[in-house]
Amino acid sequence: MKNTYFQIKNIFPYLLIMVVLSSCKIVETPVLENPVDPLSSNFQGKSPSDLSIEVLDRNKIILKWKNKSNYLLKNVVQRSDGDKPFYDLAETNGKDSFYIDETLNKDHYYSYRVSGVSSSGRFSISETINIKYEPYPDSAYKELSDVTSFSISPNYRYIAYKNNNEISIYDMLNDMILGVFSCDASTYVFSHDNNFIITGNNTTKTIEVRDITSGQVMRAFDNSGANIISMAISPDDSTLVSIDGTNNLKVFDVRTGKIKFSKPQPTVFNNDSRIIFSNEGTNIAIFSPISRMISITETKNWNVVHTMYSVLYDIFFFTKNDRYFAYNTYESYAGVFLHLLDVNTGIEIKTEITNDKNFIFSPDEKSIVLFRNNILEVWSVNDFKIDRLIKTITFKSNLVKVILTESGKMLALDNRNKLMIWSDKGNWVLY
C-alpha cells in the first residue's frame, strides 16, 4: 500500500501536465500574402531628401525636407550639437515635411538629419545638413529718416529716396550714399542696367535721364506742360511709359526722347496712380485709385486686354514668368480677396484675405507677406495659394510700403517717414 501511494505521488505532476495540455488549443500564425508594410525592401531607396533650413527668429529655424514615399508612418528629426552624437529631437507624422526648432544657442554648430519610419518599423535616413546658428546683429538693421517715398533698383542694390525736394541714392551693398540732387519729382525709376535713374520733374514738366551717382541730367524729354504722375521703364531700357495729369498714356523712346505713342485713358489719374511693366515687357498695368480700376495693356499695339474693378490698394505686380498678375479687391458684404489673374486665359485664382491687408510675394514666390497697420504676417504659399502662417511681426508704427529683395533684405516705409532696412544674410524671412 505504501509502495502504491509512492508511485501515484511520483506520477501525479505528469498527469496534471497532460490534462492542462489537452485543454489548450494550438493556433498557427498565418502567412500574409500581402504584407502590411508596402515599403519592404524598397524602403531604403526612399530616404527623405532635399533638406533645407530657414532662419525664422533669433533662436528659431525651420527644417524642411521632401518625403519620397506615401507610406510613411512618421518622420524622426535628429540633431547633433557640435561633435556630439545624433539624438532624436522630435517626431512628425508622415504627411508633414517640416519641423520648427526653437532651442538654438548663439554661435553653436548643429547638424540635422531626418529618418522616415514605415509601419513595420523599417527606417531610412536622409543626408545630413549643417548650420552654425548666428542671430543677426543690430548692425543688420538700418533706418533712414524723413523719407516720403522710395524706389529700388532692379538688382536690389540701390535705393533712391526722397526728402522734400532732394533725392538721395543709397548703395545698400556698401552702406553709403552715392549722391544727392535736387528735383521736384513725384516719380522716379532706375534703369535695368543700373546706370541711370529717370525722374519726372514737375517744376520743368520734363522727364529727365540722370547719372545714378552724380544726378547730372544727361537728357530731358518734353512732357507738353503736364505733371508726370508715374513712370515705368521696359526690361531692355529702350522704352519709357508714363501717365500724367492730362490722363494720357505716353510711350517714349529712351534713347531719343521722342514720343512713340500717346493715348487718352478712360479714367482719371491722381498722385496715387501707378504704372508698371511686366517682367518680359509684353504688358503694362495701370492703376487708378479714383476709379478703383486696373487695366492691363499689351505693348505691341497698346490695346487693353484686361480690366479689373473694385481694386483696394496700389500693390500689384506680374509674377516672375508673367503668367499671373496679382492684385487685391474689396467686395461689399464679401470681404477682401487676393486675385491671381492668368494673363493669357483670363482665368482667376481668388483667395479671401482676413481684413483689408496689403500683400507682397517673396522673390522666390514661395511665401507671401500680408500687412495692415503695424502688423505684418509671413505665410507660406503652395502653388500661389496661401498655406500656413509662419510668423507674425508687430511694429511700433503703421506700415505704408514693404519690399522683399532677392539679396536677403526687407524694406519697410512707415507712417513716421522712416525707411527701415533689415539684412537677413540671404534669407528674406526676418525677425
pLDDT in tens, 185-194: 989 999 999 8
What is the Cα–Cα distance from 344 to 246, expressed in whole angstroms?
Answer: 31
Which pLDDT tens digit goes with each residue over 346-402? 999 888 886 677 888 888 888 888 888 888 888 888 888 888 887 777 788 899 999
Domains observed in the chain:
44-133 (2.60.40.10), 138-423 (2.130.10.10)
Looking at residue 59, its pLDDT comes to 64
Mean pLDDT of 312-317: 85
Q: Has residue 136 got a pLDDT over 60?
A: no
Q: Which residue has the cell 525592401?
A: 41
- Per residue in 370-389, is it b (16+ CB within 10 Å) or e — as a string? bbbeeebbbbbbeebebeee
Task: Report which of 43, 136, 56 is spatially closest to residue 99, judged by C-alpha positions.
Answer: 56
Give the HSE-up count for residue 341: Cα atoms under 13 Å, Cβ half-sphere: 20
Q: Return the number of other C-beta atoms located less than 10 Å from residue 52's C-beta.
A: 11
The answer to which of 84-93, 122-131, 340-349 has the lowest mean pLDDT is: 122-131
Distances (CA, A) of 385 to 147, 278, 311, 381, 395: 34, 21, 19, 5, 26
Q: Which residue has the cell 504722375?
A: 229
**Quick one: cell of 401?**
510700403
**Quick one: cell of 52?**
533645407
Give the HSE-up count for residue 246: Cα atoms under 13 Å, Cβ half-sphere: 12
Percent of the chain exceeding pLDDT 70 equals 83
Which pLDDT tens digit goes with each residue over 278-297? 999 999 999 999 999 999 99
